Structure 1
Amino acid sequence: MSQHDSAHSLYYLLMHGWFSIFPPTEFWARVPSVLAVGLGGAGVVVLGKKLSTRAVGISAGLFFAALPRVTWAAIEARPYALAAGVAVWATVALLVAVERRKVGFWALYAAAVMLSILVNIHLLMMVFVYLCVMVIVRVPRAVFFSWCLATGLALAVLLPYIQFMRSKADQINWIRPLDKRVLFTVVQGQYFETAVWAVGTSVALIAGVAVVLLLRKAAITGFWRTIGVAAAWIIVPTAGMLLYSVFVKVIYVDRYLTFTAPAMALLLGVCTVQIAARSIVRIEVVLVIFAVAALPNYVQQRGDYAKFGADYSQVADTIAAQSSPGDCFLLDETVPWRPRPIRALPASRPEAFEDLVDVGLREPATVPNFLWDRNLPPERVVDRIAACDVLWTIAGKNPARPDYEEGAALAPGPRFAASSAFTVPDALGFQIVKRWQFNYTALNKSVR
């Protein structure tokens, strides 16, 4: 990794081990997330059964696999799917410890809490969820004391790590302040991404349960317990992040709460079984309706520019296919990149750029306290550019130009023409001879 991201240190450590066995390709980078979703789904089934019934467990597990936030996490080469998986199994470990009331099971729970926080620091908020769980399942005073002791010991062991993470808070200065769209993000984006119809289906399920209960139909076994645990798991971390963002520092990003997706699956699962009156056919119908409602989002997640519209892979593929060893490349930092910063582009596929000369590199991210490699402006690396025969410039897309152009001296376009990433090489005699354009990016090949 060319970036140092302390929030995901354990994940990156695990991935280094993974890549010592499997090739560091996009496909193999995503496989651990797929496996983590399977692990999380199995945990949701176990958890649903422990809280309510086998039907609730299986239904919740299927909802978990179909939730757009989970299918998104499954194809991410980041620790969100793993965070959801460990959150589920830590919760299972808690319930087992409450049932068995043995020191060994409390130790297992404490270890699960520590692992959770190491995977994702935001899972620290699960401690407050577990406090709610203790109240919901009405544990005796002795069991509550055991929970306090196990949780306190786990947090004490991790206290240096938690303090270290607080010192790295500046790494998330890129998060935008909350605005009027935050309610939309919480209601839809947090679990359903762009799947509006899946939101409607979920609201209909919850409203349907209210109607069923108002008709005085008996609640299924563990219904209220499952509802309580799921609600606490959704509300406490979400409210915690929002309040912290308002009064301390902005940290709310919908994907950071992927670890609460199992709770939404539990909520939908128990509502489905309650409405379906345990009818397997009815449960299957609801699950199919939900999957169909979310289908457009599944398709979108697997499009060429599915990840925030980023075209990193397309740029890297073209560089790998068209460049020659010893060619130079330069990044135009004057354009508003999405997602920022532009340095993420070569960092995402380093093998495509490893035989090229990075003329703008100031210092790599391995320097302490930096999240990304840092650039020097083109006017400060004139000598490096002058030593090049072929220069690949990664700049912003010009919507007025076609996807591909070739010629003796292509026009730079008004925005690129004003950038030193063009003017400095131009003064040295470089001419743009080929241009590829993708979603956000223009890739220019220049020669002298």
Structure 2
Amino acid sequence: MIGPAALTLLLGLWGVTREHSMWRDEAATWEAAHRALPELAHMLDRIDVVHGVYYLFMHGVFAVLGDSLIALRLPSVLAMAGAAAATAATARRLAGSRAGVAAGTAFALMPSTQHYAQEGRSYALVVAAVAVATLILVTLVDGRGKPGVPARRWAGYAAGMLAAALLNWFSLLALPAHAAAVFMAHRRGATRLLTRWPMAAAAVVAGALPLILASRSQAQQVAWIRPLTWSTALAPLLLLTVGLLCADLLKRLPATPPTPRALSAVSLGLPLLAFPLLALLLLSLIKPLYIDRYVLYTNLGLGLLIGAAASALVRSWRPLVTLALAAFAALLPLQLDLRTPQSRVDDVLAPAEVVARTSRPGDGVLFIPSLRRDTAEVSPGSFTALDDLALAQSPSASGTLQGKETAPQHIRRAMLGKHRILVVADVDGHPGSARDTVKRRVLVEHFTRCADTEVRGRRVQSYERGTSCTAPPLRS
């Protein structure tokens, strides 16, 4: 559907550079996609294998389009536009043309849709792949699984779900939702689906299994996820409540269109919304795993339910357009905020600008923790005249994102050999490793802090050896 796709595209391109900022997860994409293929393979053998397909894709994007913030985020913008079109087409098949436009528009206006449409990560591509696979499944249900249905449709469905799984294998939680929809369609006469869908689903799982097994050895990468709390669960439960209210409304109102169908917006949309959310929430009671972006594709189910409910409740185009404009206006403050650097945890570009402005040739530089070295990896020109006092092996050579640092005693010796040191750190300033503890201790015992600049979630500090600064201390 052209309208919802165009709306999503326009919203995605609006403020896409976010005031020339890039947060830490996008910096990981930037670093990985800039590496030569052997270096990328070396890295994936150690970390981020779950993102390997996406990094390889972005390596190709940068090779074709060049590297820029627009090139970094454009695939996500286009993917979300495609997902909106697929959502609209799915809703149109299930509940009519008005429902199609309403569903695609609702999907486009969701804050999380707009958030990840402007992010250089894989999540928008996952949503698009699940959306296309869901649309193909609906066309297969419409065909009732008859022998005349081309095998390439089943291949297309499996390919879409496999693409989603290879980009993020949490998308496999959409398969049980599709299974519920297939079972409902089977009860209404689509008998062949019950044998053909499991074959397609099995092919998807088999194709994703090597990635799942490989990622198990890197499970420590999700150790940062916090245990589930009521505040964490509140947002997904609210979304689920909205979906249930829409489903209840649709059951109370006459069907639109009135002709019987093997699938409805409720029998497809509600499982697609509810199952992945509830499954990940329940898994998180055992091992913390719940992050909303891992199941971002549940927006598709919510969009189907909202679109069908709005179409059933408002049975003409004019009030439907008015409702969409009102929703846009109500969400405008949030939409504006999403396009600012403050909408993300931090910005790796701003501290590099501070370093470039305040550093002197021959200064030392430290990163606390070492992962904050992403600032130098993304903006190497700002650090060319500085000595990285802790680095033993570069990120690309070590197959990591932060590099390999030397022993604490070597870091101490290198620090004491410098008159002036710049530090790029997190705002909280909490040292994490033994090396970080040594860095902080030497700075406190032998250096004077002469400048402390907090900028977009990070901190740049300058220290000089001794008890005084060559310029008056400043804090900004």
Answer yes or no: is 1:273 the counterpart of 2:311. Answer: yes
Q: Which residue of 1 aligns with 2:218?
A: 168
Unaligned 5+ segments in structure 1 are: 192-201, 334-339, 400-417
* Partner-residue secondary structure (3-state), 2:195: helix
Sort the Cα spacing of 1:419 and 1:155 in 2 relative to 1 into closer, same or farther, 3 A. closer
TM-score (norm 2): 0.76
Match 1:294 to one of 331, 334, 352: 331
Answer yes or no: is 1:13 the counterpart of 2:43. Answer: no
Sort the Cα spacing of 1:437 and 1:370 in 2 relative to 1 into closer, same or farther, 3 A. closer
* CA distance in structure 2 between the aligned counterparts of 1:211 and 1:104, rounded to whole angstroms: 37
Sort the Cα spacing of 1:242 and 1:364 in 2 relative to 1 into closer, same or farther, 3 A. farther
Q: 1:260: how far off?
A: 1.4
Matches within 5 A, 1:214-293: 214=252, 217-221=253-257, 225-247=264-286, 249-277=287-315, 279-293=316-330
Q: Which residue of 1 aligns with 2:75?
A: 32
Sort the Cα spacing of 1:349 and 1:65 in 2 relative to 1 into closer, same or farther, 3 A. farther
Q: 1:122: how far off?
A: 0.6
C-alpha contact 2:247 2:270 (8 A) present in aligned 1: no
Answer yes or no: is 1:77 the counterpart of 2:120. Answer: yes
Q: 1:342: how far off?
A: 4.0
Matches within 5 A, 1:10-409: 10-98=53-141, 99=143, 101-138=149-186, 140-187=190-237, 203=242, 207=245, 210=248, 214=252, 217-221=253-257, 225-247=264-286, 249-277=287-315, 279-308=316-345, 310-323=346-359, 327-333=363-369, 342-347=372-377, 349=379, 352-353=382-383, 356-363=386-393, 372-375=402-405, 379-388=409-418, 390-395=420-425, 397=427
* CA distance in structure 1 between the aligned counterparts of 2:247 and 2:319, rounded to whole angstroms: 14
TM-score (norm 1): 0.80
* Partner-residue secondary structure (3-state), 1:76: coil
Sort the Cα spacing of 1:171 and 1:332 in 2 relative to 1 into closer, same or farther, 3 A. closer
* CA distance in structure 1 between the aligned counterparts of 2:415 and 2:360, rounded to whole angstroms: 16
Sort the Cα spacing of 1:213 and 1:147 in 2 relative to 1 into closer, same or farther, 3 A. closer
Sort the Cα spacing of 1:272 and 1:385 in 2 relative to 1 into closer, same or farther, 3 A. same
* CA distance in structure 2 between the aligned counterparts of 1:210 and 1:33, rounded to whole angstroms: 33
* CA distance in structure 2 between the aligned counterparts of 1:165 and 1:396, rounded to whole angstroms: 28
* Partner-residue secondary structure (3-state), 2:225: coil
Q: 1:213: how far off?
A: 6.0
Q: 1:423: how far off?
A: 4.3
C-alpha contact 2:246 2:306 (8 A) present in aligned 1: no
Q: 1:361: how far off?
A: 2.8
Q: 1:398: how far off?
A: 8.7
Q: 1:150: how far off?
A: 2.0
Sort the Cα spacing of 1:347 and 1:263 in 2 relative to 1 into closer, same or farther, 3 A. farther
Sort the Cα spacing of 1:106 and 1:292 in 2 relative to 1 into closer, same or farther, 3 A. same
Provide the aligned C-alpha RMSD in A.
3.2
Q: 1:235: how far off?
A: 0.8
Aligned length: 406
C-alpha contact 1:48 1:57 (8 A) present in aligned 2: yes
Q: 1:426: how far off?
A: 6.1
* Partner-residue secondary structure (3-state), 1:220: coil
C-alpha contact 2:127 2:164 (8 A) present in aligned 1: no
Q: 1:374: how far off?
A: 4.9
* CA distance in structure 2 between the aligned counterparts of 1:259 and 1:367, rounded to whole angstroms: 36
Sort the Cα spacing of 1:137 and 1:349 in 2 relative to 1 into closer, same or farther, 3 A. farther
Q: Deviations over 1:92-112 (max 9, x none)?
A: 122233426222221222222
Q: 1:266: how far off?
A: 1.4
Unaligned 5+ segments in structure 2 are: 1-30, 33-42, 430-435, 466-476
